[in-house]
Chains A and B, each alone.
Chain A
Amino acid sequence: MADTKQNGTGQPAANGQNGYKVIGTRPVRPDGVDKVTGRAVYAADVQMTGLLHGFVLRSPHAHARIRSIDTSKAEALPGVRAVVTADDLPVAEDKIEDLGEGAINLKYLSDNVLAQEKALYHGHAVAGVAAVNPHIAREAAELIEVDYEVLPPVMTVDDALAEDAPILLDTLRTDKMGEIGTEPTNLASFFRHQRGDLDAGFAGAHLVVDRTFRTETVHQGYIEPHAATALHSADGQITIWTSTQGSFAVRGQVCEILKIPVSRLKVVPTEIGGGFGGKINVYVEPVAVVLSEKAGHEPVKIVMSRADVLAATGPTSGSNIRVKIGVDADGKISAALAELYYEAGAYPGSPVGAAANVSLAPYAIDNLQVDGYDIIVNRPRSAAYRAPGGTNVAFAVESVVDELAEKLGMDPAEFRVLNGAKENDRRPDGLQYARIGQIETVEAIRDSEHYQSPLEGKYRGRGIASGYWNNWGGQSSATAVLNPDGSVNLSEASTDIGGSRASIAMQLAEAMDIEYEQVKARVVDTDTVSYNDVTGGSRTTFATGLAAYNLGQQLKKEMKRRLADQWDVALGDVCYEDGVFSAGAESLPFIEAAGLVQRDEPLMASSTVHPQDFGPGFSTQCVDVEVDPETGKITILRYTIAQDVGKAIHPSYVEGQMQGGVAQGIGWAINEEYIYDEEGHLLNASLLDYRMPTALDLPMIETIMVEVPHPAHPYGVRGVGEVNIVPPAGAVANAVYQATGIRMDKLPISPARLLEAMWAKEAESAELVPGDD
């Protein structure tokens, strides 16, 4: 293995180093055995007596007015227990609430769950059916008659902003940094970040590169389709079992859509088969609740098909992006402009705001301007996808940076070191950085065996790229119960997608100086702990880990207090070291103390946190590619990722995040895209035609964990889940340039696109050769 580790101090980092006993080790996760034996219960696995099965009918049109819906034939089919449409939902208010990760207009949220006046994308839900089995539910849905007035579709940024563009939402007006427009529009909002003097910066530049780019819609691609089961109890309580990144986000959204108090709804998060940002919005949950209510309170389960997942959930935005960067003769960036046009899908809310911050974040720039446009189109309402918006814009910026370095005759890594952002520099919106590790990630790549090794052969090339993600803190709640045998039950509400039960338990164990195996971590429902934000924004190991650390400190402190009483000594005289409490001649190992201190009174602790100063993440990556000149297919020969991880709590799971993000980024770079026909029908809603990377498409992905500890976390944790997906598309594009001499300005760089570009270049160079016709 080529894995190496470095940290900001230049000291080697080994397991359990820096005085840590648990942090830095690689224990097996608590849910591991259930997941390798098939016993783990995911959302579609929920079973109960009398369970009905739901099916959702979806619009066959990209843009259509719904004149009427006739459900009578469906209701008459034997085995059908309920049929619902948007008329079965309460009238939604046109107001904005933050119910998950970002603000949502409640009317849009409700209309996306079941279309009210208009279907706004191919696959938009229009009705739901509950029946005694899923086959009958599906047959019944086909009997529902929807009278549509088909309207012209608006599929891209250019379509949406055209002079005479059809309008998707009659009430939408452009929000220009607080100033609300007066005309109907598809431009939901516009904002600008600026500092310094852009014109002067470009005027004084030695060299300016100005390019435009296009990226296509992609899906998060989690392997588990969305699924939810709703149960009404006789006392009026409702329970939802669902696969979600945020049980409280589901509670909030469902309660707002259905206008019920949060006290009536309990959300139980099942095991979750991947999310990547796509399992925050609700889709089938409210439909299951209203179907269950209408079906005489029998429980209803809805499991989405893969085609429905692709057509109606996720995806993330396609985009048009312009990047213009100027440099002085020494290679220092003198000015930078980025214009970001992001497709939000059918309702406002693309990740263009986050993208703006990602755009130029790895660089120290005095004169910059970033403009963001949030644009609605007849595609599914976009959802967060791992570092939302970041991959699109980093593809554009890193392509321009690579071109600048090449024209300057500079090594692209040295260019990034020279211009690299560091402590006290500012990201595009002005936020000032604390200690960050961007330059360290570039140096780690520059000095790697991979980057230093020769790459020879025709049609082969090497590229590098950097990326930023701000990460997040958010709110977390957790409780810990001390058992008399010295074990600790840790209850937390951050759904565990990639091993966070382990990484959180490890922090509690470290804080208490006990074994990892003594901590039993479990993810609990919304009735059991207090509010907890989504597993998203790379916040869970950071923020819920902080709550776990606090629990450990509280339990230790209370154990000391009770021992001081028992031993009749002052609290300050009780020491705890190496798992043993002591005071003078008294001494007691932790496990015995756990029983002794609870002879008269049980012991538990709770912690709620909302950390504000979370540590941003940076990553720099290096890829070698080979292009097949016959087919345009790109083969990834070798890949190395360096990422500032702050402090790797569980190094294997951190490597896994890095490798997984890279793999998704490679798919985005070379294959994945939504393909629509002229009428706005999605043509590739299957995992055969929506082409995600397989094991055969990838090499081993070498990881370099750079550890620049985050100063505001007791163990230095930075979120590690997202930044890894930001650089791959830029790195691959830069490698393709080295391999072919072509700068690809569109994602994905699919075989067809690349082959066409290679033919065009051949034709062009043939014309330039005199006498060769």
Chain B
Amino acid sequence: MAKKIAVETTLNGEETVFLCEPRQTLLEALRDNLGLIGSKEGCGNGNCGACNVLLDGVLVNSCLVLAPEIEGRSVVTIEGIAEDGQLHPLQQKFLEHASLQCGICTPGFIVSSKALLDDNPSPSEHDVRLWLAGNLCRCTGYDKIVRAVLDVAEGDA
């Protein structure tokens, strides 16, 4: 077994230190080393978006980032989206619009949608569909997901 590395990072706003093997992905470290199971592995190679997190505010597939790479950087996962016990408007609208069925892709969609709205508070339907093309959902046909994101965007405007 490889020698473990200590990584210092800001995780969902908290200063955090953890140990990981050099070969572990950020996704694996989040789930197995840090107990944050909200980020999901659907493919392990960047095609489904179920593991998406924000790295210094930029949307990334956590399965394609090595855990030691987040040294000194800031990571926000699905567990960091709700603030002060209040659901984020995206989380609330996903519930109201029935935007999830099985729910396995939902954390990734919410993180991705937050990244979109942080950058573009009033996207068109096409903008939403283009941005979310990196997230696969097999249950919903995307209709109710896109409506939820547009609803949040309109609410903010």
> Interface residues, chain A, CB within 8 Å of chain B?
26, 28-29, 31-33, 35-42, 44-45, 47, 78-79, 133, 135-136, 220-225, 271-276, 303, 305-306, 497-499, 650, 652-653, 655-657, 659-664, 686-688, 692-698, 700-701
Complexed CA–CA distance, A225 and B40 (Å): 10
Residues of B within 8 A of A650 (CB): 98
Which of B41, B77, B95 meets A44, CB within 8 Å?
A: B41
B120 within 8 A of A: no
Residues of B within 8 A of A697 (CB): 133
B79 within 8 A of A: yes
A-B contact pairs, 23 of them (CB 8 A): A26-B98, A31-B103, A36-B95, A37-B78, A37-B79, A37-B87, A38-B107, A41-B37, A222-B104, A273-B40, A306-B45, A497-B102, A497-B139, A652-B144, A655-B144, A660-B138, A663-B138, A663-B141, A687-B45, A694-B132, A694-B142, A695-B137, A700-B147
Residues of A within 8 A of B94 (CB): 36
Complexed CA–CA distance, A284 and B102 (Å): 21
Residues of A within 8 A of B44 (CB): 305-306
Which of A220, A274, A686, A695 meets B104, CB within 8 Å?
A: A274
B140 A663 Cβ-Cβ under 8 A: yes
Residues of A within 8 A of B96 (CB): 28
Interface string of B19-42 (1 = CB under 8 A from A): 001010000000100011111111
Residues of A within 8 A of B74 (CB): none
B101 A223 Cβ-Cβ under 8 A: no
B97 A701 Cβ-Cβ under 8 A: no
Chain A min CB distance to B143 (Å): 5
Chain A min CB distance to B152 (Å): 12
Complexed CA–CA distance, A79 and B91 (Å): 41
Complexed CA–CA distance, A273 and B105 (Å): 8
B102 A223 Cβ-Cβ under 8 A: yes
A33 B43 Cβ-Cβ under 8 A: no
Interface string of B101-126 (1 = CB under 8 A from A): 11111110010000000000000010
A222 B138 Cβ-Cβ under 8 A: yes
Which residue in chain B gives the minimum CB-CB distance to A661?
Answer: B141
Which residue in chain A gives the minimum CB-CB distance to B1?
Answer: A79
Residues of A within 8 A of B50 (CB): 223
A700 B138 Cβ-Cβ under 8 A: no
Among B106, B132, B138, the one with the most A-chain Cβ atoms within 10 Å of its Cβ is: B138
Residues of A within 8 A of B37 (CB): 38-39, 41-42, 45
B79 A223 Cβ-Cβ under 8 A: no
Complexed CA–CA distance, A106 and B142 (Å): 39
B104 A497 Cβ-Cβ under 8 A: no
**A-side interface mostly:** loop
Complexed CA–CA distance, A303 and B31 (Å): 13
Complexed CA–CA distance, A33 and B85 (Å): 12
What are the 10 closest A-B residue pairs judged by CB atoms, nearest first? A38-B38, A273-B104, A663-B141, A35-B103, A659-B141, A652-B98, A38-B78, A498-B101, A687-B47, A696-B133
Complexed CA–CA distance, A688 and B46 (Å): 9
Which residue in chain A gives the minimum CB-CB distance to B108?
Answer: A223
Inter-chain pairs besides A39-B38, A223-B42, 12 sampled, C-beta below 8 Å: A29-B95, A38-B36, A41-B37, A135-B21, A223-B104, A224-B40, A225-B41, A306-B47, A656-B139, A663-B142, A695-B129, A698-B129
Which residue in chain A gives the minimum CB-CB distance to B50?
Answer: A223
Chain B min CB distance to A691 (Å): 10
Residues of A within 8 A of B130 (CB): 696
Residues of A within 8 A of B142 (CB): 663, 693-695, 698
Contact A42-B40, Cβ < 8 Å, known A663-B140, A701-B143 = yes
A687 B95 Cβ-Cβ under 8 A: no
Residues of A within 8 A of B102 (CB): 222-224, 271-275, 497-498
Chain B min CB distance to A96 (Å): 31
B82 within 8 A of A: yes
A274 B38 Cβ-Cβ under 8 A: no
Complexed CA–CA distance, A183 and B136 (Å): 46
Chain B min CB distance to A621 (Å): 12
B100 within 8 A of A: yes
Interface string of B67-88 (1 = CB under 8 A from A): 0000000000111011000010
Contact A499-B141, Cβ < 8 Å, known A38-B78, A273-B40 = no
B138 A664 Cβ-Cβ under 8 A: yes
Which of B42, B133, B141, B147 meets A660, CB within 8 Å?
A: B141
Residues of B within 8 A of A38 (CB): 36-39, 77-79, 107
Residues of B within 8 A of A498 (CB): 101-102, 139
Contact A698-B87, Cβ < 8 Å, known A224-B102, A499-B98, A686-B45 = no
Complexed CA–CA distance, A37 and B97 (Å): 16
B1 A136 Cβ-Cβ under 8 A: yes
Which residue in chain B gives the minimum CB-CB distance to A665?
Answer: B141
A656 B91 Cβ-Cβ under 8 A: no
Chain A min CB distance to B136 (Å): 6
Complexed CA–CA distance, A565 and B65 (Å): 68
Residues of B within 8 A of A305 (CB): 44
Which residue in chain B gives the minimum CB-CB distance to A43?
Answer: B104
Chain B min CB distance to A192 (Å): 36
A32 B79 Cβ-Cβ under 8 A: no
B146 within 8 A of A: yes
Chain A min CB distance to B95 (Å): 5
Among A35, A39, A272, the one with the most B-chain Cβ atoms within 10 Å of its Cβ is: A35
Residues of A within 8 A of B110 (CB): 36
Contact A221-B47, Cβ < 8 Å, known A28-B95, A42-B104, A700-B143 = no
Which of B41, B79, B146 meets A695, CB within 8 Å?
A: B146
Which residue in chain A gives the minimum CB-CB distance to B128?
Answer: A695
B87 A656 Cβ-Cβ under 8 A: no
Contact A652-B48, Cβ < 8 Å, known A222-B138, A223-B105, A663-B141 = no
A694 B98 Cβ-Cβ under 8 A: no
Which of A35, A36, A221, A660 meets B140, CB within 8 Å?
A: A660
Among A45, A695, A696, the one with the most B-chain Cβ atoms within 10 Å of its Cβ is: A695
Among A135, A303, A687, the one with the most B-chain Cβ atoms within 10 Å of its Cβ is: A687
Complexed CA–CA distance, A412 and B85 (Å): 55
B47 A694 Cβ-Cβ under 8 A: no
